[in-house]
Amino acid sequence: MSHAPCFRLSAAILIGLAWSRGSAAAQQNAAVPETVMVTLHAKPGGEEELARVIANHWTTARRMKLVHDSPHVSVRGVEDGNKPYFIEIFTWRDAQVPDAAPPEIQKIWDDMNRLVEARDGHAGLEFVVVAVAVQ
């Protein structure tokens, strides 16, 4: 009595199970994009430098392939009569990127923090995870 057909079938099942487990692990480790809205409350007199730093952040993050090209929205406004603020909306390629940001990005964040102020109970730099609504 030969056991070869059973062995081949068992091996095929084991290979299939190993592949599906590997595939599930790969899916769990796959990059999960994260869209954020960042509000930056500029210190008085520092808004032009902050605008340049924000632009540099975007350029650097794109060059390093840390973000998706879209959506990307950058707006500037004034609150409380004359206090400038900026809002940036963009999507990190992977939600883990900000937690393990490269030194070049961390340096830019240091520059941003130097140029912002807390305002009306809000931090100078605020991050909110958002979803893009398609209309």
pLDDT tens digit string along 31-64? 899 999 999 999 999 999 999 999 999 999 999 9
26, 38: one domain:
no
21, 67: one domain:
no
Its pTM stands at 0.76
Whether residue 5 has pLDDT greater than 80: no
68, 22: one domain:
no
Query: 1 exposed, middle or buried (CB, 10 Å; 0-12, 13-18, 19+)?
Result: exposed
User: What is the domain range of residue 109?
Assistant: 34-130
Give domain status of residue 82, yes or no.
Answer: yes
2, 56: one domain:
no
62, 2: one domain:
no
Give domain status of residue 135, yes or no.
Answer: no
**C-alpha R_g of the chain:** 23
17, 68: one domain:
no
83, 25: one domain:
no
11, 39: one domain:
no
53, 93: one domain:
yes
Whether residue 8 has pLDDT greater than 50: no
24, 74: one domain:
no
Condensed to tens digits (0 to 9), the pLDDT of residues 66-100 reads 999 999 999 999 998 899 999 999 999 999 999 99
Q: E strands of the chain, at which residues?
A: 34-41, 67-79, 83-92, 125-130
